[in-house]
Structure 1
Amino acid sequence: MDAPPRFGIWALVHGSRAARQDPDEPFDASWTRNRALVLEAEALGFDCTLVAQHTFNPYDPERGQLEAWSASAALAALTHRIEIITAIKPLLYNPVVLAKMALQIEEISSGRFAINLVNAWNRAEMDKAGLPFPEHDARYALGEEWLSVVEPLLRGERVNHAGAHFAVQDAVILPRAATRARPRIYVGGESEPARALAAAQADVWFINGQPVDDVAALIADVARRPRTGPPLRYGLSAFVIARPTEQEAVAAYERLARLAELDKPVLARQAIHIDPAVVMHQTMAKSPRVGTNGGTAAGLVGTYRQVADRIRAFHDAGIETFMLQFQPFEAEMRRFAAEVMPLARR
């Protein structure tokens, strides 16, 4: 790729990304922690942060959960350079209301805001709010129509729309984006409807962590699809464990894997709410790993040089943005910025 790799962090919206009973990282999904985390990430040279959207903690309903959109507006006011990517489930927000919110944060951030469209996998979140949870492909059909309304609104265009799910009359959102045409649009998901949606309407397609050959095959499939406008870009989620020696990295992985076993009873109780048609969970079940959204399945476990080389291999395959997880988050984020980021960008 011509563009250099971009590195981002997952905000800790629902606590630890791997083992939730780690004595080195007590549970903390508070605004105070996330504010400090993102401000430090910006200072360390990270390019973006992804703020996942959940109304209730999806892994443990007895735990707290950061609210994504109000937190993102605050982060936009506090930061100066880092891109703020906020997830959105079309089931939760009317497209006109969401477009207005997004353009407001775009203004607050001076053109550093993006939305990440995800079509939901946790039925409990909708059930608790009394909202419908259609089957998998129907959610994507709704999401496609939702985004077809949001995208022109983000451009400041006047929209009239009458579809299966939304009716919009003479809507235009002001003020328009001041520094570019509109906020960037990321799309997540690897099912057939998700790939079609990304090819047609996304700026960036997010892929969950998995081996580089699998990622290259996914990119090749989507790149073959019809598309108008600029080429689609690609992002990857991954959990990083980097150490001076391979033995230390393996030991750190094994420690987190043992701790993650303690979470299985809670996760099993929550698993009944997961839509089995969601490809992310099918992919994650194929191999042992720690972390969410594929986690260590991407293979970023090893020495500083090994992790940097694997990042470059993903970059050669087409990945531009790496959305990273760590544990303990702050300490390992600093280690990555100091030891791996310079090697990967060289």
Structure 2
Amino acid sequence: MKFSLWLPANLSWHDLRAAAAHAAAPRAGSVDWRGLWLEDHFMDNTDEPNDGARGEALTQLTALAATVPDVRIGSLVLGNTYRHPAVVAKQAAAISDISQGRFVLGLGAGWQENEHRAFGLEFGDVPARIRWFREALQVITALRDEEFADFEGERYRLEHASLNPKPHPPLPILIGGKGEKVMPKLVARYADEWNMWSTPDLFAAKNRIFTAALEDAGRDPATLWRTTQALTFQGDDGAERAARSARPAIGGTPSQLVDTIAAFAEAGVDEFILPLTGVHDVARIQDLSDRFLAEVAVHVA
């Protein structure tokens, strides 16, 4: 199993770069982080007043691509409703070039209603957002894979559009989602990687559904890279804190976390992403990530 780190998007650039550079530094005799991920939101999902700091994901990822070497970088995940997918394809190609092929384009249908309202973005209902998302995947892959792309959909339109220069091949597309009806088919058709929040039991159940969709589409299930994350509470009270979490969470002593991460691997996870999105002190980010690598990851990798 590989391990990656999900950094807070609301750090200042100075602090974000410091945290990313520390994570990317090689560690002799230890496990290294495979990648660094950033979320894509314009505001917190909290009650008003809502004026917390929040960076812009593609701008931050571009800066990381230019200044932090070796590790993969990616969006976890871009909200489709925020940008036209053809513009996203152009931005992704540029970041891929800057990073020399280390960029992963993570995409999702969009879900956070308050930022759509605040920024004047059309939200739609769930079926509409899924339709728009399918079209966006068609647009992006057509621009990535074809010399010229034409497309006429409900929401998006291309007329002899060309993505030039092309991204460094290949530009991996990650789809974030856990729905059991449409999302497995979209992953089977368009995704190189798939991500969802989970616990080991939840991931195992969902993975069976997504694997079946791959098989139904005539695709080798081994060609899909599977990633997950869960809030992670380290310490003697970690399991109790995880049980109280509203989001998928794991916790416990280092030995307990080793067993839990091993259960993720048994469930089919290829890469566990450690989310530190709620930690805003760089020293603590560095400490928590170093401890996880030394106490947990090294015993599972």
Match of residue 6, structure 1, among 2, 14, 31: 2
For the pair 1:89 / 2:39, whether they are aligned, the reply is no
1:209 Cα deviation (Å)? 2.3
- Residue 288 in 1 paired to residue 244 in 2? yes
- Name the residue aligned to 1:146: 136
Following TM superposition, by how much is the alpha carbon of 1:119 offset from its aligned partner in structure 2, in angstroms? 1.5
* 1:311 and 2:271 aligned: no
* CA pair 199-98 structure 1, distance change in 2 beyond 3 A: same
Q: 1:242 to 1:124 in 2, by over 3 A?
A: closer
Separation in 1 of the partners of 2:142 and 2:194? 19
SS of equivalent to 2:80: coil
| Residue 203 to residue 310, structure 1, CA distance change in 2 (3 Å) | same
Residue aligned with 1:240, SS: strand
> 2: CA distance between counterparts of 1:239 and 1:124?
23
Following superposition, the deviation at residue 336 of structure 1 comes to 1.0
1:271-286 pair list within 5 angstroms: none
Q: Within 2, Cα distance between the matches of 1:107 and 1:313?
A: 37
Measured against aligned partners, the alpha-carbon deviations of 1:310-338 in whole angstroms (never above 9, x if no partner) come to 21221122101111124543211111122
Q: Which residue of 1 aligns with 2:204?
A: 216
Deviation per CA, 1:274-306: give whole Å up to 9, x if none. xxxxxxxxxxxxx6216xxx342xx3x122222
Q: Which runs of 5+ in 1 are unaligned?
A: 15-28, 244-248, 258-286
Q: CA deviation at 1:233?
A: 2.1
Aligned CA distance change for structure 1 residues 177 and 62 (closer, same or farther; 3 Å): closer
Give the equivalent residue in structure 2 for 1:38: 20
Q: How does 1:169-208 map to 2 (within 5 A)?
A: 169-178=159-168, 180=169, 182-191=170-179, 192-208=181-197
TM value normalised by structure 2: 0.87
Do the aligned partners of 1:236 and 1:321 also contact (CA within 8 Å) in 2?
yes
Partner of 2:225: 233
Give runs of aligned pairs for residues 326-345 of structure 1, distance below 5 A.
326=276, 328-345=284-301
The alignment partner of 2:82 has SS state of: coil
Equivalences, count: 282
What whole-Å deviation, never above 9, does each CA across 1:193-222 have from its counterpart, x for those lacking one? 333322221111112122x22211100011
CA distance in 2, matches of 1:228, 1:159: 25
Structure 1 vs Structure 2: percent identity of aligned residues? Answer: 27
**Aligned structure 1 segments of 4 or more residues deviating by more than 6 angstroms:** none
User: Which amino acid in the other structure matches residue 296 of structure 2?
Assistant: V
1:128-177, Cα deviation, whole Å (9 max, x unpaired): 22221110121011001111110121235321111111110111111123
Q: What amino acid sits opposite 2:143 in the alignment?
A: L
Partner Cα separation in structure 1 for residue 239 and residue 60 of structure 2? 31
- Answer yes or no: is 1:52 the counterpart of 2:44: no
